[in-house]
Structure 1
């Protein structure tokens, strides 16, 4: 079957990644979008694009538009409708090719309860589970509550004691219903000292199934992966053979077609592994497999969907080097990894030869609470794991991405962590190493960057003043004291005083005059760049002003500085004792009641954002004296929610 035009039924970075392969194969790529995405990178890179009136989950609208555009096939990417058996059936019923496994496979493996039952019958090692809360004691704590139709960490809760069970199950059900339209959950034994090992499989329509090696994805927060790599440092050749052959055996029993991933939980202490789930789609972390095998998985998916046999056998697959992927999220690791919103004020990176960027964002894009907060995937490749980690860390440091709070520095902390470099990447890695994952910034670099920012601001403001830009810098018609500029960084105020000589800007930090006096000579300056000489050393940095903030990056990570006003704004009022929204979102449940006493740690209300629930808890004992919100309200980050006296 010859395919000519393929619709990518997705958005963002995965849509762009799939579009690239479609076009490289000489085929036409069709994109779909909602209003907020109409100027997105993936839409701009497609051959054709149509607007959806009812969102990315309206199956009938997508299929009708696909027919209007004479689409031959649909690639669902991941998320959204990628593992929706009903959508798969509808696509095929309209004589449109589905790029993925059969609907029957999607349906069976998409239900976590039924999939585990199937594996038990097929003698695939599987952890004990139950759908009855009364059987929790038999499994033994800690227990993991999981959504039956879930994935991506949504609808999951770790329960350490019986008193937590009811609330955790209720929260998991709500989250599962919101994310997947199915509120069924089950209980499973939680393996505390574990690794997440998954195997990439590939099958065709003629019964041929092979594997493309394993990926380790143990470093997670909120049960969502943030760093993935291939191969796993922990597996011996015998263990690797055992786990990959088990994955292929299961895929063959499923008569699996297209690309898929068989996921396992691996016990660090016993070397045992158990079936976790099959993802009947392309995985977020598929690039690390592509880097170590040289095989384009999307291309293979399209070839299989068009009726071709696999073009290689297991013995043809050659694994080379080591690849690591870091997921760049709009989230705040210092605020329990809660998602962040904002506008991408700028975006630049080094584009190293050993780095692959899978991103769907550009300067000016808005990050909203409507979609998953992942902005990009950054993948490194080298001959050794240590080199790959170093290359990826350096690349992340070079990324200039102001306007949105991200987990960039946290990822760097992970990659440079001694425990990570030794391969001790069990699922408790973040909890175990948390305090070490926020490395201190180099104070000397901070000082140089701040001084360069003062110089850039002076030049930038002067050149952008149409009335006064003919005057020399710092020119006055009288004798004035040195100019002053103040920044805030991590709640600390930095005050700089400066003046111009004929060739240099002289600058020092207030109260540190003798030891911090510097001379700065400008070499090159523009809207987003400063190159200058500071005390005999060259500083070359990307720089962006957004609102009252400035981000500067000299290759050691973005430094976000808030420009403090000369005078305080008397209109800024903070309500004492108030709890504020940690992020933009929707109030879906309120437990607190006016004039009722609360205890520290008690959940007062639940905020939903990006399909995830976040509990807002009392920080101290007290009484609710004011309620500023009600169920269903949409709130902005920092909005007052309630007041505790």
Structure 2
């Protein structure tokens, strides 16, 4: 083992199915009872092993890449219009697998991967379940049963203080007594699952009932069981897990550990291997404990033994066994050189681990990090996002052996509200931890994922934070440093301000507009030269745009910037072009504006800008010199109902070089005057800033028309209504019509992307809604009124 990275990286090795031993099951066709990136991962290994892969999908998942990657694909119908989610419908999955002539079923992770009834049903049907026995699942895969079993059969295993009563005992009075005995803060955990679902930290008895109800509700929908347990919450804890692999002979191996302490909402977002905080003695003790647990139950297949490590005392406690493959398994593969999916298939077919010489001495070489790229908005409490991925391009800065992307998305894929928010796993390997961190930051920043909001920049802020570098960070890392982590860590070193960058957005839209006009065969006044002005000497007619930037914190466009061009031109020629950038000037007469209505304010502001443009350079203006080095424009979304334009630019701005990818969201508005008040929306991925930004591009007239339109409804009216933040399903209506509510009170609970979201009142008022539990609504639809 080489912890300092001095040993060369082990080549990735894939096990081969035994063909001559007795008790071997020949596997030629595997149905993957899952979706998305894990299905793509399994398909890849099946291809290496010469096994036919059979994917399943639903109507809402038809554009997922696993559908096209697999050798065969079967449509299960619709999640939205089925009484039972097809991925959770055991009889339907068994019937589908038999009709597809599958020899085996691989459950992936999530859904039914740890469901003992599913494992039994697969085996009873004559197929092979690629996973542990149902006994191991029910004994170790369930948090409650695991702790009861271990306390009885292996009392040397350190267990975290808690309460593991059965589901029939889940009345609130009993739980309040048990929680007081454990001592707050406590953790409520879904007994049957993981992945952050059905987990809540409770700091006082007054919150126990409401948090229990939410944990049970999430657990029931995610895992089919609402049973929960209580545990003491260790506030200075590291989440360390050990990967194990077992076979039919009872042999269990440790494949070393992973540190999974960077978590939001109790769900991992960054994992690394090895855990740099451990010394060799403690590492061996934890791994030996994990093996002992696996041997006790004769565990077969891939599993993970999870521990909480108290960094104050150095003590560690058993948490649970994940009786399946883990989301973060790639970092173990990167450090050991072992293909874990192939080993799963190998032992499921009856292969013995002792007959593989590669497992005699399992290495732990270098350092690997995995980041979970999720469609979510960190600014809005990590609320899940959805929508069209308009451009996806993983960075190609290193060889595939150093950087690994596991995803089912591509340009044109739609992130659905019916599935988890994780859209990609990004994995890097390097000889040392410091190099792995730098490589991951660079990889994240250069990867273009343009469309729904993601945690891409947030992940980089985590990796660049000094506390993460110190290796003694705990599961409280994100909540303890949240304000800093929500800031863009690259901004201070960025050569341009975001207002100055607006000129590049303006340049892009003007080029698209020019190309659109050139393609028109019939134009009104087509014989008149381009750029003609009736009053050519009037300075107000100098080509100008107003660009705003959408800011998640503000919830609306900010930094309105005037970009004034010296002439009607297309993309600047190679010798460059100078553009004037300035903030929109303040209104000419503050006294006059103060007495005006909001629509009148917009008119006054427009007149103020017109007057300023006529006088010459705008106040506080800057000159920006642009020089284009490379331009590539192309259409995307060719397989969708609508196409959109993508631009890849390399350019210099005031002497500094930049690369940027821009996407025009709505090409129908390329002629500014065609829809007054409607901007051209542009999404821009800026690698130097490691994230995407949303810009709105207007003509001066259309910008002020948009202000007039938005002012028409009035701020008072909007504060009385609560609209759906995304397509969602109403889980609970917490108030009755006519109830008086206070600002901040929870009035409804909705579900989207497998997560519960609370809807709080933004003002005092009388509650009223026409919705009931179970109703589905689209984004922007009315949830309730507060009169």
TM-superposed deviation, 1:97:
1.3
Local SS of the residue matching 2:324 = coil
Is the Cα–Cα contact under 8 Å of residues 455 and 505 in structure 1 kept in the other structure? no
Quick one: which of 230, 236, 239 aligns to 2:282?
A: 239
Match for residue 631 of structure 1 among 760, 768, 773: 773
Match of 1:522 among 620, 628, 633: 628
TM-aligned CA deviation for residue 581 of structure 1: 3.0
Q: Is contact 1:595-1:623 (8 Å) kept?
A: no
Establish whether residue 467 from structure 1 lines up as the match of residue 515 from structure 2.
Answer: no
Q: Describe how 1:254-269 pairs up with structure 2 within 5 A.
A: 254-269=297-312
Out of 120, 124, 129, the position equivalent to 1:98 is: 129
Give, in whole Å, the separation in 2 of the partners of 1:14 and 1:631: 33
Q: How many residue pairs end up in the alignment?
A: 644
Q: Deviations over 1:485-504 (max 9, x none)?
A: 32223241222222338844
Q: 1:140 is matched with which residue: 180, 183, 188? A: 183
338, 346, 365: which one aligns with 1:320: 365
Name the stretch that deviates more: 282-291 or 53-62: 53-62
1:175-190 aligned within 5 A: 175-190=218-233
Q: What is the Cα deviation at residue 475 of structure 1?
A: 2.5
Measure how far apart 1:438 and its partner are. Answer: 2.5
Instruction: Please state how far the C-alpha of 1:429 moved relative to its aligned partner.
Output: 0.3
> Secondary structure of the equivalent of 1:295?
coil
User: Is the CA contact (8 Å cut-off) linking 2:727 and 2:777 kept in structure 1?
Assistant: yes
Q: Which residue is equivalent to 1:576?
A: 719
1:534 paired residue number: 653
TM-superposed deviation, 1:146:
1.4
Map 1:221-370; keep pairs closer than 5 Å.
Answer: 221-310=264-353, 311-312=356-357, 315-351=360-396, 352-353=398-399, 354-370=402-418
Please state if 1:119 is matched with 2:146. Answer: no
Q: Which sections of structure 1, spanning at least 5 residues, go unmatched?
A: none
Contact 2:306 2:318 in 1 (8 A): yes
State how 1:433-452 maps to structure 2 within 5 Å: 433-440=481-488, 441=491, 442=494, 444=496, 446-447=498-499, 449-452=501-504
Report the alpha carbon displacement of residue 155 of structure 1 after superposing the two structures with TM.
Answer: 1.2
Report the Cα offset of residue 461 of structure 1.
Answer: 1.6
Q: Determine helix, strand or coil for the equivalent of 1:356.
A: strand
Instruction: State the match for 2:138 in structure 1.
Output: 107
Larger Rg: 2
| Alignment match, 1:600 | 743
**Does residue 417 of structure 1 match 2:460?**
no
Q: How many Å apart are 1:249 and its aligned residue?
A: 0.3
CA deviation string 1:384-414 (max 9, x = no partner): 1111111111111112112201111110110
Render the CA deviation track for 1:208-267: whole Å, top value 9, x for unaligned.
Answer: 111111001111111111010101111111110110000000000010111110001111
Q: In 2, are the aligned partners of 1:201 and 1:210 still within 8 Å (CA)? A: yes
Of the three residues 536, 559, 581, the one matched with 2:693 is: 559
The aligned counterpart of 1:385 is 433
Contact 2:542/2:564, CA 8 A, preserved across alignment: no
Decide whether the 8 Å contact of 1:449 with 1:554 is kept in 2. Answer: no
Moved more, 562-571 or 529-538: 562-571
SS in 1 for 2:404: strand
The gaps in structure 2 that reach 5 residues or longer are 1-24, 166-173, 552-556, 584-617, 635-645, 667-679
CA shift for structure 1 position 180: 1.7
Pick which of 32-41 and 362-371 moved more: 32-41
- Deviations 1:43-93, CA, capped at 9 Å, x for gaps: 111111111136212222222222222211111100111111111111111
Q: Is the 8 A contact 1:338 1:582 kept in 2?
A: no
Q: 2:114 touches 2:193 (CA, 8 Å); kept in 1?
A: no
- SS of the counterpart of 2:736? coil
The TM-score normalised by the length of structure 2 is 0.78
Q: Compared with structure 1, are the counterparts of its residues 534 and 422 closer, same or farther at alpha carbon in structure 2 (3 Å cutoff)?
A: same
2:111·2:222 contact (CA, 8 Å) conserved in 1? no
Q: 1:485-504 alignment to 2 at 5 Å?
A: 485-490=546-551, 491-492=557-558, 493-500=560-567, 503=573, 504=576
- Structure 1 pair 150/69, CA: closer, same or farther in 2 (3 Å)? closer
| Farther-moved stretch of structure 1 (108-117 vs 270-279) | 108-117
3-state SS in 2 of match to 1:369: coil
Shifted more, 584-593 versus 296-305: the winner is 584-593
The reply to whether residue 86 of structure 1 matches residue 192 of structure 2 is no
> What's the TM-score, normalizing by structure 1?
0.95
* Cα deviation 1:398-445 (Å, max 9, x = unaligned): 121122011111101101111111113201101111111123433616
Shift of 1:312: 4.1
Farther-moved stretch of structure 1 (541-550 vs 118-127): 541-550
Partner Cα distance (1:164, 1:477) in 2:
67
* Pair 596,154 (structure 1): closer, same or farther in 2 beyond 3 Å: same
CA offsets per residue over residues 100-154 of structure 1, 9 Å max, x none?
1111111222322111111112121111222341222111111111122121111
TM-aligned CA deviation for residue 617 of structure 1: 2.2
Which of 398, 408, 414 is the aligned partner of 2:446? 398
State the SS of the aligned residue for 1:436: helix
Partner of 1:644: 786
Using the TM superposition, give the Cα deviation of residue 320 of structure 1 relative to its aligned residue in structure 2, in angstroms. 0.6
Q: 2:453 is paired with a residue of what secondary structure?
A: coil
**Partner residue in 1 for 2:31:** 7
Check 1:623–1:82 CA distance in 2 against 1; reply closer, same or farther (3 A cut).
same
Could you say what secondary structure the match of 1:301 adopts?
A: helix
- SS of the residue corresponding to residue 347 of structure 1 reads strand
Q: More displaced, 611-620 or 95-104?
A: 611-620
Say if 1:239 and 1:516 are closer, same or farther in 2 by CA, change over 3 A: same
Distance in 2 between residues matched to 1:21 and 1:600, nearest whole Å = 53
Q: Which has the larger displacement, 310-319 or 84-93? A: 310-319
Contact 2:379 2:486 in 1 (8 A): no
Write 1 or 2 for the structure with the bigger share of helix: 2
C-alpha distance in structure 2 between counterparts of 1:524 and 1:628, whole Å: 55
